[in-house]
Structure 1
Amino acid sequence: MKKLIDSIFFIALCSCMALVSCISDGDDSDTGSIELVAGDKLPVFGVTMNDGTVVTNESLRGKVSVIVFFNTGCKDCRQELPVIQQIYEDYREMPLLAISRAEGAASIASYWQEQHLTFPYAAQEDRTVYHLFAKSGIPRIYIVDAELTIRKVFTDNPLAGYDELVAAINDASLR
């Protein structure tokens, strides 16, 4: 009987950990990772978007941009992605980069199709690009000004709403 109770407890514990793993996964194995905050400059990075376009930090210079880190298996990301879709539709001229954290292109493409998402994404099988920005936690949204300075960072606590994102984009545009 004790073995059964221990097994049930273990399964329940693993289930609870899976529910919060997208938010605070505790993967601090890369001690070189940092947490970028408002006022920091964008790190040097480059990603290939799903349409084949290569985007680098320098290609964003001169424009306000939005960078989103996500994983479609994350409950909070699933809640945030429709808000990002609305931002994309309303600010088509603004660069918007959705970069996956440890998720491949096939999985993302399937989710995008199911959810009718149209904004561009860069599939990253690992956390290399993500770790240039943060240690853990998604969704993570960076509003960046034309001089490549991060003006606002949104995480899961609380999730960013459309109005907060628009205000941060407008603020970054004024700088």
Structure 2
Amino acid sequence: MKWNRIFWFFFLGYLCFSCIRDEVPAGTNIVGPGDGLPDFSVVLSDGSVVSRESLKGKVAVLVFFHTGCPDCQEELPVIQRLYEEYASSSEVCICAISREEGEAEVASYWQAHALTIPYSAQEDRRVYALFSTGGVPKVYVCGPDGKVVSVYSDNPIATYSKLKEDVENARIFSSYLFAEQMVSLNLPTRNY
């Protein structure tokens, strides 16, 4: 009986504190560097609509998250810092999209952690499934032409300096050319 309680204690603790990860092999991105954004549309917490069409002509940083995931909890302050830097820019759009997490949970987390990044609470995986088959966080940096420049996951999570570099490069170059230049120079296209 004692071992049974100990087992359940550790098992439940593991569930509560483990990351919301799918047991899928690496490389499960449906959208990667050089690919165009899928046709999607979400309503953000500020009432604006973000879609493939609305992002044309802008550099976009899209982050998929779940507030119960420790890696997401580490990544969201990085995205917040990036958002604060580009919030006044009409050339850059930064937003967060939840994976299977409702408005009440996300709003509560945002308030508790003083986050101001516009977000879209998605109770299912319909939008997420257009980008990836598993794992959060997922961060996509896209150029003004709608092509993905870089993709980051949880290993390693995106750093502020890498994201800022990707955003600045995407502002200067066409993302397709940027991705092609990186491949031709034998540099990583930041598909982490």
Fold shared per TM-score above 0.5: yes
Distance (whole Å) between structure 2 residues aligned to residue 88 and residue 25 of structure 1:
28
- Name which structure has the greater RCO, CA cutoff 8 Å, separation 6+: 1
8 Å CA contact 1:66–1:143 kept in 2: the answer is: yes
Name which of 127, 130, 135 aligns with 1:129. 127
- Alignment TM-score, normalising by the size of structure 2: 0.80
Q: How does 1:11-160 map to 2 (within 5 A)?
A: 11-13=9-11, 15-16=13-14, 18-22=16-20, 24-26=21-23, 35-92=30-87, 93=89, 94-160=92-158
CA distance in 1, matches of 2:127, 2:35: 16
C-alpha RMSD over aligned residues = 2.0
Shift of 1:170: 1.5
Deviations along 1:27-73, whole A, 9 cap, x unmatched? 89xxxx86221111100000011122111111100111100001111
Task: Measure the CA separation in 1 of the matches of 2:85 and 2:29.
Answer: 32
**Distance across 2 between alignment mates of 1:159 and 1:16:** 21
Distance 2:17 2:134 in 1: 15
TM-superposed CA distance for 1:151, in Å, is 0.5
Structure 2: 5+ residue stretches without partners: 175-192
Whether contact under 8 Å (1:34, 1:132) holds in the other structure is no
TM-score normalised by structure 1 residue count? 0.87
What's the CA shift for 1:17?
A: 5.2
Shift of 1:13: 4.4
Shift of 1:11: 4.9
User: What is the CA distance between 1:8 and its match in structure 2?
Assistant: 3.6
Which structure 1 residue ranges, 5 or more long, are not aligned?
none
Q: How far apart, CA to CA, are the structure 2 residues paired with 1:53 and 1:21?
A: 30
Q: Percent identity?
A: 43
Q: Distance in 2 between matches of 1:120 and 1:40?
A: 24
Q: 2: distance between equivalents of 1:6 and 1:95?
A: 51
Residue 26 of structure 1 deviates from its aligned partner by 3.0
Contact 1:68 1:97 (C-alpha < 8 Å) held by counterparts: yes
